[in-house]
Structure 1
């Protein structure tokens, strides 16, 4: 990489051949550039890399690209080893188990994120045997800006993985096609909630529906396929809106689905309003985690609190949510029912299904008890002053 002066974006600096070097620092999680950076290559062992990472030293790779990937795999295996007996206090409650799990995952991500790689101004990787990641980076970061950059190998591999998912798509029978997730947009791999939306009885007055927090556009597409004449799908995230737009177009549903950038609700009322908020009240640590973690249940409470004012009198609001937060002691069923009542809403019906994801059967998972008991539900809600 050539030395450059970077002023518009965060900068990472290091010494190379007794010369000061710098480049643009990339971090989707918004992490600051590392202060301690050393140059490493193929001679670095997993043990030596682990020691440097444990000390908080970032390692800028100058060796073979494939060897860098092997080193990251070695670090991942080291990070996944169970803590030594007695090194961690056994959690007394499911909530403590969840907090301990999140701390462990955070430490793991921090250590693995210290292996860095260079990225050229055209998104090429200036390393031996490097793969071509240019198109993947364009999809994630936009057109090249003409600046060399540095990022964690872990992040770059996530960009490449998202590119592969985007190429092949996720088959979804309910939309009679595939959904193509973008980098930073949650993929609809949990099919149970998709099935609930596809099978729940539509309200009688359902010419117009709102899909709140559309993400990949999967729910809007299902509703359109089910015959809803007009679906207004909302999101605040530009990547999500771009992803939903591409999926709607590929499915031939542009006449039925309109995308709006807004926080939760568009203007007006609808006969059906659907929301699949993040299921866990916790702080996300990366962009894609915003589809999983909802700090202080902000989106859930916002949806419920404003739903009645955006529903037709005889309309329905569909809340799609798992009860895993209840099994983890993070939010009670009574609290959820209290929010529903305070919002001037009533429960018409609840449709339940059990998740089939692999972790529900993985007894070694620290959250296994909660995952094994988890139920995903579609709550059919109506206005208290409605006629349901």
Structure 2
């Protein structure tokens, strides 16, 4: 479901337009004020970019390898930055009508992101920009080499832009005679779609998010894969007595607190989801079945987890590693030297860990 807009009740609201300088606007938002933009829409976007640049200049640059303390400082800065930038507001009417010069049509993008609107309200320009960008990506789709059609991603669902791990799913040798697979935390449905495209005859894809379930269903219909994939809204595993020959999971990679719903696909406080998955997975596995766990080592590189954490955690929960397939990232952030995590991202490795139960670990349901 769309995420409703948070109510905004500013204590100090300053109307500004095209004649307001970025320096003055930056001074006001740092003093706690909200700004109501009434000028040209595209000039408002330029002002937002100028405020972002001024905010970024305030961040202390990290020298040398980033560590856990520096990472948490960076996360705090990002949260404070979002709070500052969200103080530049626009006023929209019912159905997201926007009375600004050169304003785009907001209705489709904002209804997809935030739901229908029947009254006048204030909304951060930054959130509008994010909704428009997400809507454009939803309509365009993300090209996946292993699939005949792009994957289309709704607002609030994590986009499969990290294609390197998908190539691991596409090329890794399947367990012998795989008849049923689970895709845990399916999101856009991309992993389940790749498994179906590879010929796995029965797949159950789960997710806790209703948006993800709707998004995956749309993608499976577009790819004509509904016959092979069943969607279940569930926390981790489908209801008993289902058992699988292959269970695939691409869990959140970073053990830190998410600050928005979509960040739950990336951040897993205290490795809670990862621990629960590994502690329960053998109960849902057929004899001779395999678990495929897709994980980046970024958390180890920034010292949020100790080295060799995955083999340790697997052993703790009655599993052992039989194979590890590695790939280097190809996304834009891994090449951006201005990214605060660049030093770690440049050395990042994404792995597909193949796990099987240790002797006697598989439980009967």
TM-score interval for Structure 1 and Structure 2 normalised by the shorter chain: over 0.9
1:137 aligns with 2:137: no
Verify: 1:49 aligned to 2:21, yes or no.
Answer: no
| Structure-1 separation of matches of 2:235 and 2:352 | 22
Deviation at 1:64, TM superposition (A): 2.3
* Structure 2 Cα separation of the partners of residues 151 and 202 of structure 1: 48
Cα displacement (A) at 1:100: 2.2
Scaled by the length of structure 2, the TM-score of the pair is 0.92
TM (normalized to structure 1)? 0.87
Structure-1 residue corresponding to 2:166: 194
2:54 corresponds to 1:78: yes
Contact 2:319-2:361 at 8 Å conserved across structures: no
Residues of 1 paired with 2:81 and 2:64: CA distance?
A: 19
Which among 112, 128, 136 is matched to residue 101 of structure 2?
Answer: 128
May I ask how many residue pairs the two structures share in their alignment?
359
Report if the CA contact (8 A) 2:3-2:114 is conserved.
no
CA distance in 1, matches of 2:7, 2:80: 14
Provide Cα deviations, 1:186-221, integer angstroms capped at 9, x if missing partner: 111111010000011111142111100000000010
Structure 2 partner of 1:350? 324
Between the aligned partners of 2:283 and 2:267, the Cα distance in structure 1 is: 26
In 2, Cα distance between the equivalents of 1:214 and 1:287? 15
5+ residue gaps, structure 1, are 1-25
Q: Please, which of 267, 275, 284 is the counterpart of residue 249 of structure 2?
A: 275
Counterpart in 2 of 1:265? Answer: 237
- Match of 1:239, SS state, is helix
Structure-2 separation of matches of 1:32 and 1:269? 48
The CA deviation at 1:52 is 0.8
Q: How far 1:157 moved relative to its partner?
A: 0.6
Matched, 1:162 2:138: no
Query: What is the root-mean-square deviation of aligned Cα atoms in Å?
Result: 2.2
Alignment of 1:296 onto 2:296: no
Pick from 112, 119, 141 the counterpart of residue 92 of structure 2. Answer: 119
Change (3 A) 1:197 1:34: farther
Q: Distance in 2 between matches of 1:286 and 1:28?
A: 13
What is the rounded CA distance, in whole Å, between the counterparts of 1:325 and 1:300 in structure 2?
13
Equivalent residues of 2:208, 2:234 under 8 A apart: yes
Contact kept, 8 Å, 1:28 with 1:287, in 2: the verdict is no
Is 1:61 the equivalent of 2:57?
A: no
